[in-house]
Amino acid sequence: MNILVAVPVPALDLLTYRVPDGMTPPAVGARVVVPLGTRTVTGIVVEGAASVAIDEDDIKPIRQVLDEDAFLPADVIALARWTAEYYAAGPGDTIMAVLPPKTRGGRADSHKTVRVAMITAAGLDASSAAVTPKQRDALDILAGAPAGVPTSQLTARGIGADTVSRLVRNGLASVRQERVDRDPFDAFPFAATMAEADRRLTIEQEAALTRLRAMADSRRFGVALVHGVTGSGKTELYIRLSAAVRASGRSVLMLVPEIALTPAIASLFRQAFGDQVAIQHSGLSDGERHDQWQRIRRGEIDVVVGTRSAVFAPLADIGLIIVDEEHDGSYKQEESPRYNGRDVAIVRGQRTHALLVLGSATPSMESYHNAMSGRYERIVLERRVLDRPLAAVTVVDMREEYAAEGPDAVLSRALKDAVAARIERKEQALVLLNRRGFATAVFCRQCAGTLECPNCSVSLVVHGEGHARRANCHYCNYSTRVPAACPHCAGPYLEQAGFGTERVEAEVKRACPSARVARLDRDAIRRKGALGSLLSRFRDGAIDVLVGTQMIAKGHDFPRVTLVGVVSADVGLGMADFRASERTFQLLTQVAGRAGRGDQPGEAIIQTLYPEHYSIQLACRQDYPAFYERELQFRRAMRYPPLVSIINTIVRSRTFAGAMDDAADLVQRLRAESDRAGFRVLGPAPAPLGRLRGEYRAQFLLKGVNRKAMREALMAAVAARPDLQRRVVVDVDPVSVL
Ligand code: ADP
Ligand code: ZN
């Protein structure tokens, strides 16, 4: 008898193994140890009793079965298989994404343990004359705790290991090792200050809750798009709805883009549901994640809050799945399997007859399109709670600023004045620039040469000032000292151009010397714990101005922030990506929503070179419907999602010609199919990022309404060129085509 096994090895298909005579066939979802070439690996049984037309003798036997029952629930395996197929990824990659950390490679069930002391029957009866005073103290403590006391707690109360071991030797107490589940909430920097159980919902919240509850109670699959402006109280709504679904006996899955950036949400869920919440995200150690995962699998948990991969959490009987900030690009995994957690969540919801809630102040074009066409229920929260006004937005035309202040101006006069006013009033400000580093390019005034990455087709970015200056590649991590002379012409006229967050931080300090300024971007939070400490210092008022990348635009709720400055609102608009306008609109709307969440009204100042661009204009007016209509015209004219589906394919090669030729070959094979299957092929062309980590990249796009036909044609074309298999990257429903 044969079984199908998924092994966590990239790009591998499902493998067939034989169950040796005398061995009980393993359950679907169980882990098995199998030979693979010269290695031994742990895989997951995805299908039992497969009848495979291969000569029986060629099939290798499994070595060992690790689980009596399923380790992964059958519905999660089915979901993983759907994901592998839809996103054209190998089952190997997908199973890796679904397994919790630490079980990969078979090292399962590693847990932290503690020693717990317990009193015995003899100990309960022991007369005081028979023991020392210390032992008497210990027995009294233990007698009051029938389930036992960790020995570390006894030590803290002055009872040492020697006393305990004497009690054990005399039969008066026993000690056992007990597994503990590490609680990731211990690491959270601050508890939420909000949720009060008896808070009165606003009229809009109440109406939304009623509709959502009715949908959940029907126990039929349905999707609701909750389109609520920033500060309209969506989180409160999620918690009430989750409580209702939980009370009806079903479990809740809540996906968030990045827990580390929004610890308040996790804390609020913890406050509301206590121990019944598990948290799954990449900021946890493997051990912590593993513990949480095991608790979910054992059915001890009925609410899971997690990032993208939590969509595969082994949670049973799901009645509600919430995808918070559903438009967020971080739901898309940018390595194989290139799945979108939001879209996998919808499929999971469909299979478990759950209610899907997609929440956002700036819904993705896809979700809003589905809501407008009636496929999703649309629920609108138009007003902020307590009728707090949205921030007043001012646009500063930087062309005028350059004319007045010179071409080096980073901060406009309006923004400098506004920051200074906040410092005076003891309020706080956020200043956003979505670009890291100090200077974004180094060029030579003599030969016009630039400092480029030797591995990638991008300029190196300068980090640091003075002697600490380094030039780094943001794609491959190449790093070098900034040379004194031009590497091309040896001339001494190197100059820095462009600016990033480090420069903005320096400029804010210069403009407001008394301000306490800090920076929040990927460089600033490299050290473990740095992010939490920055956020809590800002919350506590130890920082006046926080400068940062889009990280500061995420769902934070800082009541004393009354000013948000955006230094270059158009950073993303120059990119050759069909979502550039959508992303700019989202970022500006989200960041403006961070101002004025407390009692004081907020203000946003947006600096740009393109004040008339629709994504900037409409973000300033916070007019989502108008943006949607305008953007939809563009998508329709250019045939982009949500009106068609696209698949992006990148072919990598050591040479430019190799990449282009191989891509051209695949395109030719596809063109033969495209008319019949009703899709178009665009390209091949050099990818916008034409060289990455030493490899050249050519690209082509498939566009059409029948995604399945496109994917199948593409897979057939790639299958005809097995030599390309490992050099082709297929991205179904790409979030970015760069
Ligand atoms: P959103 O997620 O829509 O941006 P939040 O859920 O963060 O909004 O709510 C914004 C603020 O309003 C939070 O501080 C929250 O505690 C508070 N809040 C939410 N609902 C209410 C309510 N009904 N009454 C008073 N305050 C509320
Ligand atoms: Zn590089």
**196-387 in CATH: which number?**
3.40.50.300
pLDDT at 143: 82
Please tell me if the CB atom of residue 360 comes closer than 6 angstroms to any atom of ligand 1: no
Topology annotation, domain 2-103: GIY-YIG endonuclease (3.40.1440)
Q: What residue owns the CA closest to ligand 1's atom 18? A: 233
**645-732 in CATH: which number?**
3.30.70.600
Mean per-residue pLDDT over the chain, rounded:
88
Taking residues 500-519, report their average pLDDT.
96
pLDDT at 607: 95
User: What percent of the chain clears pLDDT 70, i.e. is strictly above it?
Assistant: 93
Q: What is the pLDDT of residues 479-503, one digit of tens each?
A: 999 998 998 899 989 999 999 999 9
pLDDT at 693: 93
From ligand 2's centre to the CA of 476, what distance in Å? 4
pLDDT at 116: 82
Q: What is the pLDDT of residues 640-669, one digit of tens each?
A: 999 999 999 999 999 999 999 999 999 999
pLDDT at 107: 40
Please tell me if the CB atom of residue 233 comes closer than 6 angstroms to any atom of ligand 1: yes
Please tell me if the CB atom of residue 590 comes closer than 6 angstroms to any atom of ligand 1: no
Burial class (CB within 10 angstroms; exposed 0-12, middle 13-18, buried 19+) of 218: exposed
Q: Which atom of ligand 1 is nearest to the CA of 205?
A: 23
Instruction: For the chain, give every domain's residue range.
Output: 2-103, 112-180, 196-387, 392-437+499-634, 645-732
Taking residues 48-65, report their average pLDDT.
74
From ligand 1's centre to the CA of 490, what distance in Å? 59
Give the integer Cα–Cα distance in Å for 561 and 441: 32
Q: Which atom of ligand 1 is nearest to the CA of 235?
A: 6
Please tell me if the CB atom of residue 622 comes closer than 6 angstroms to any atom of ligand 1: no
Q: What is the pLDDT of residues 206-265, one digit of tens each?
A: 999 999 999 999 999 999 999 999 889 999 999 999 999 999 999 999 999 987 776 778
- Is 392-437+499-634 the same fold as 196-387? yes
Q: What is the pTM of this model?
A: 0.85
Q: How far is CA 482 from CA 451, 474, 486, 495, in A?
A: 9, 15, 10, 11
* Residue 699 contacts residue 649 (beta carbons within 8 Å): yes
Which of 128-137, 187-196, 200-209 holds the top average pLDDT? 200-209
Please tell me if the CB atom of residue 267 comes closer than 6 angstroms to any atom of ligand 1: no
Q: What is the pLDDT of residues 519-575, one digit of tens each?
A: 999 999 888 778 888 888 998 999 999 999 988 887 677 889 999 999 999 888 877
Q: What residue owns the CA closest to ligand 1's atom 26? A: 385
Residue 223 neighbours by CB under 8 Å, 6+ apart: 346, 349, 355, 356, 357, 358, 370, 375, 376, 377
Taking residues 95-118, report their average pLDDT.
65
Give the integer Cα–Cα distance in Å for 376 and 295: 33
User: What percent of the chain clears pLDDT 90, i.e. is strictly above it?
Assistant: 61
Phi, psi of 514 (to 5 degrees): -85, -10
Pocket test for ligand 1, best of 235, 242, 624 (most atoms within 8 A of CB): 235
Topology annotation, domain 392-437+499-634: Rossmann fold (3.40.50)
SS3 68: coil
